[in-house]
Structure 1
Amino acid sequence: MTNLAQPDVTIFLDHAGVIRRAALSPAFRGEALDAWVGRPWAETVDSFGSESLRSLVDDARDSGVSAFRQVNQIFPSGLRLPIEYTAVRLGGDAGLVAIGRSLQAVTELQTRLVEAQQTMERDYWKLREVETRYRLLFGSSSDAVILLRVTGLAIQDINPAASRALGGSTVARRPLVGKDFSGELVDGERDLFHAMLRRLDEQGSAPGILLHLGVERAAWMVRASRLASEAGSLYLLQLTATEAASTSRQSAEGEFADVLIERLPDGFVVTDRDGLIHWVNPAFLDLVQMPTAGGVLQQSLGLWLDRPGADMSVLLTTIARLGVVRPFSTRLRGELGGETEVEISAAGDLDTEPSSIGILFRDVGRRLPRHDNDQRLGGRLNALSGRIGKGPLRALVDEAISVMEQHYIEEALELTRGNRTATADLLGLSRQSLYVKLKRYGMDQDTVTDPGSRT
């Protein structure tokens, strides 16, 4: 990765946005930029980013410093990379200087962070899934099932069918929990039941016995088995009515999927593995400010994401590896200039390497505070523009680079939630180099975590 002490791309422009000269960091060794000289800067990026660069040049020329813009830069060799630019007016006829940073490393780190999050959440959701399935099966089973504590034979849990067998109601089954099951048995059958449990404990299995349960003392065949749980060992009792008539139930299922997705208030998109849009619902068209689906079908979803190439790359890479993406935040850009904070969650039709991907976009603009990092950086660079003419150009450029370096370190710390080791990896620095920079900018006293610094 590139050290933040030097920009990845430095471009000197006249006030009309025409390139006078350009330089690259050593990471781009082999790229010859002579072909850019004399060309409008806006012609060196893809068509979607041209207008962004024109706005960037206008802002820098009029106010002295521009906000950040992210575009797909096309290099003379044909290489395309997502680059984030800002520009500063140099004063007089000196023109403008644009400083750019490659987002490729950020994309790779975001992918790793998403994968780490998926790994941490996977076990949690597996546990929740097992618990949910247990509760659904336990509650909806037509077989009567009772869980008894081994010590005391108190009822640990009981499903609705067993509650009815004991003469209770489906809703009021909870009062049975905690009661001694032996008290529900006929006097002559209590010893038989205890003998079955002793045999189960000694031999691991026991034949079923016939018990008469409930107010009407209906005959039930009872089988028992041992079950381990967090609450300790349990007896699982399965009750089968000897004269129960099986009733078949048919449930008619309407095919409402398409209608429901069309009516969702959240945007929904179906893409192929390359991110080309195949289907959208009306809510997504509202988010990107498009009147009809014809304007987005067969287009890359990345055209409307906050960081061209970066967010889309993270999404597709994670889907290809894991088959699912749990919510992460980004922004959608509308065709009329609007921007919407959204949370994205997605799933593929296969666990890995899916051919189709369904992506849900939830508008969280009213829920999530907007980041003011760009405004804070803009204020710092504005302060530098007031010093034009009061010192040599090299000193101004060095200060601008320091301001940007501090900005990206702050963003990386925010992205990693203060983890210094992860921050150093994100920025392509050694941990010691990061400590030096934190101390230089007075950030070493901030509350950050560093799991690798303690033994």
Structure 2
Amino acid sequence: MTNDLSTFIRAGALPLIAPDLLAQVIATAGDVSIVVGPDDIVQAVLANPHHRSFGSLDHWLGAKVTDIFTSESAAKLAGRIADLRGAMPQVRALELNHSDPEDRTIWTYPIRYSLHRLDEAGALLMVGRDLRPLAEAQQDLVRMQIALEQEQQQQRDLETRLRAMLAASRDGIVILALGTGRILQANAVAEEAFGAAPGSLAGKLLAAEIDPAGRAALEAWIAAGTEAAPLPMVARRTGRPIAAVPTLYRASGEWQALLRFDGRRGAEAEDSPLAAGLASLYRNGADAVVFTDDAGVIRLANDAFLRLAALPGPLSARGRPLAEFLARGTADVRAIAEGARAAGALRFYRAKVRTAYGDETEAEISATWISGIRGDGLGLVIRDVGRPDLARLRAPPAEGRGRGAAALVGTAPLRDIVAETTDVIERMCIEAALSLTRNNRVAAAEMLGLSRQSLYVKLRKYGLIGRDEI
């Protein structure tokens, strides 16, 4: 058995088709059908009766077939006709653009033609399909894709704005899924109030982060599912009292709540003049204020520091090492931390602050070593001096190194006294720089404002390295 229709017809199983019926079959098989004689003259044109956009095409009769197409399409068609009349029994379909022979108007849409040889003399049947429906479907798909991408971009923009608002808010904000009681999102102020690490509250049960009484009030409110007065609760880790104002809304097919509370409560209570003044100084002060843990990781940073370091918001500083924002990196942090830990406070430390864009600006840093219930750390005030200045040294004299100035008066000329005192101070500074940089001579030279070669000269002068050491 074969699926070849020509064999089926030759076997006589299909009766001969009447000419009118054959013309109707050909007309409806395509949108435009053209019969071309052996001399390439159009002998018949059949338009699909259900496709009324073509109108009457009778004026194509008698025209040379290549004359009803544009020059580019005519060249393609001539090549395919030659192939079909030659050794190739079948050729691929091709897309052609028509040019009307009467007024030479060019159709703006292509027709996809399949070519069929009718007899040995070379007569041809061209069956064409209008590609506009396909093009319109493709355009619809493109428009749908563009709309989907725009919607996704809008969603990303909304998420970005939400993150920016959460980061900029001075209130603590917690977004809670009522169905599970789990925290969906919390801003930095809320994480600080609950004593949680950055980003660690999401996915946790709010009930596990508060005291039993607050948990009971929360569960009663969730069961009621209505607006309520501020919910009293106490953060389990920090012991901080919180009065959260809930707002109900529905999103993603479930009820959610936005819990908002005053981020300045507790240690910054407004009824304490000292606390209120310190909080206002932190928020509105001209100098940058930064708090770090004992490893130099930023816990809090005020707006002045964000401006100094060219950062967009509190979350962009919190949790990052302070060394990222100092030109000498860990060498600066180590020097500040060791000085503040030893003396309790360090004043007038000169450094360069590096911004998020790589720029550097001169700064003067004062630091205090802080011990608290949440661990030790540093409190720093960073002042943008923005100009070269003389470093100020605040260090007690070392024992066993030279004699006091008063004791030297009268024993030697003033010139010799000054030279000896200068040498002692210079050697002390070099030794301190080497200690702070852990004997990194390149970093020590930079810290002292010396070239590497000058530092090596002074190291040899004071016998701190061998003569042959490089």
Q: TM-score, normalised by structure 2?
A: 0.39
Rg larger for:
2
Kindly indicate whether structure 1 or structure 2 has the higher relative contact order, using CA contacts under 8 Å at least 6 residues apart.
1
Q: TM-score, normalised by structure 1?
A: 0.41
